[in-house]
Each structure stands twice: as C-alpha cells, then as structure tokens.
Amino acid sequence: MMTTPTSNGRLCEGRVAIVTGAGRGIGREHALSLASQGAKVVVNDIGGNIDGSGGDTSPADQVVAEIEGMGGEAVANADNVASWEGAQRLINTAVEAFGDLHVVVNNAGILRDRVLINMTEEEWDAVIAVHLKGTFGPSRWAAAYWRERSKAAKPTDGRIINTTSVSGIYGNPGQTNYGAAKAGIAAFTNIAALELVRYGVTVNAVAPVALTRMTEGLGPAPETDEEREMRSPRWIAPIVTWLASMESAGVTGQVFEASGQTLAIAEGWHRGPRVAPEEDPTKLGPIVADLVSRARRAAGMDGEDGSWPQPRRS
C-alpha cells in the first residue's frame, strides 16, 4: 500500500521499524507500507495459526522478499513476542541489522473465542500473553533502548504504535479474553505515553476493522466486491505509517479507529454525572438510578451509543 510522499521525500526515509505479526494480514500491510515510505523493516512473525499453535517462518520470509523486490531493506525475525527474552532479542535484531530503532508496531495477536462460562484458563492465558504481554515486552525493551540514547544526548524520536480493538474499547460477546487484552492495551498506551514523553517517544494505538484470517468468521461475510474492499487490511496501514513518521511527533496517547469506512479518534473515559457521596447504602437505589439515567450510554461495536441488555431482576 503506497502512501503519499511528503515534499521532502518518502515519509519514513531512513527510519528503522519493527512490525510484529507481520507475515500476513494487517501486519503485512504495515510492513509493506513502511518499506514503501523508506523504512527499514524487521518483519516479526512466528507463523502460527490463528489460535497461536504451530509455526512457520515462510510468511515472514515472503514479506521480506516482497520488500527487497521493491528495492527496500528488511530482515525476518521469528521470536515469540510473549517471551521476555524473545522480546529483547527482537529489539536487538533491529539494532544489529540496521544500527538503530525508531518504531515498534505491536500487531501480533491470536484468537481463542469462547463465552465466559465456557472459557478455559489456557484460552484466557494464551490470548492475554500474546496480546498484552506481547505488547509490553517489545515496548519495554524499546523504551530502555531509547532512554539510554536520551541519557547519552542522542536523538530518539521513537514511536510505539499498539493494536487495540473495538472489541476491547466497546465490547463484543464471546471475547472476554481478547477484549480484556485489547482494553488493557488502550490503557497501556495512555500510561506509556505519559511516561515516555520525556525521552522523545510517542505512544499511540490503532483499532482496526478489517477482514483477515482472524476476523473472517466474525460477523456476516461481505456480499459484494465493494464491501470486501472496504474491509481490506490495506486501509489500516496509512495511519500506522504516518504515526511512524517524524511528522507525528506532536501526537501521543491517542487511540485511532481505522477501516475502509472511517478514520476516527476513540475518546477515552471521562467522569460523567456525579452527586455527593452517600454513607447509607439503603438510600443508594434512587441515587444510582438517577446517575444511570443521566449517563451517556456505552457505545456498541460501531462506536455509537449502544443498547445494552438490562440485568434480570429476581
């Protein structure tokens, strides 16, 4: 996916970027777009199935070959981002291969969908590990690298771009594990942005809506070529590529929704209706009812005010 060059040349010329989960789907589009705009790319992917099982390095190798075929520079990496040591090796790969690091795009993910009452411990742990720890590990080691550069008075201009989801920030039945991880990533993004600004590092997140092998079983399938095009993963890469560039230095702590239909900012939690505290719990019924009646309703998966089911009364 080619993006529009700036007046000074390609948008990410000379920048070194890591993209996790870059062998297929959205991550592949990120890697190709960054390379088309001049970035040197570490293509990380263990090549597993959508549930995290198995492994195959060929998808990452193929993306590297595509980038080299465009005249770009890239290396493959098969480290597991959910591993502490693997995350460190991933960061080291970028520095050893290209001499520096500017961008980390945390995109790797798996699915183990199940309603809460049937979800197993292993299904919970696996999804939390890949998504949440898999965002923490590379970010932590990259942040340490950038802090050392900052302390040595060397330029950093670092970027962390995380992948959250509308399933996490708005909620989707059957995905308590995935949604909790993605909501955690949104919170992680906000806090990391506050912490890393002192080192010249921005932290943002993108909530993509796209048709990939992970999402093709969720919701109705596109019925027309136009619908399929609007759900192409290529629509996610432009905002990620821009966030990876030096142009985005003034933007941090934001969550962007991206799809073939919209580019938007998801607004975070704000304090809503309020009253003075009440010591007597027996008096809280009408007070809570009033607060709820005045509060903005939670958004649905489309990001608009949603209709949530009312709890059953005994």
Q: Residues with catalytic annotation?
A: 178
161-130-203 Cα angle (round to 5): 15
Give the list of residues 6+ apart from residue 301 with CB closer than 8 angstroms, or none. 166, 167, 170, 171, 172
Q: Measure CA 53 to chain center.
A: 21
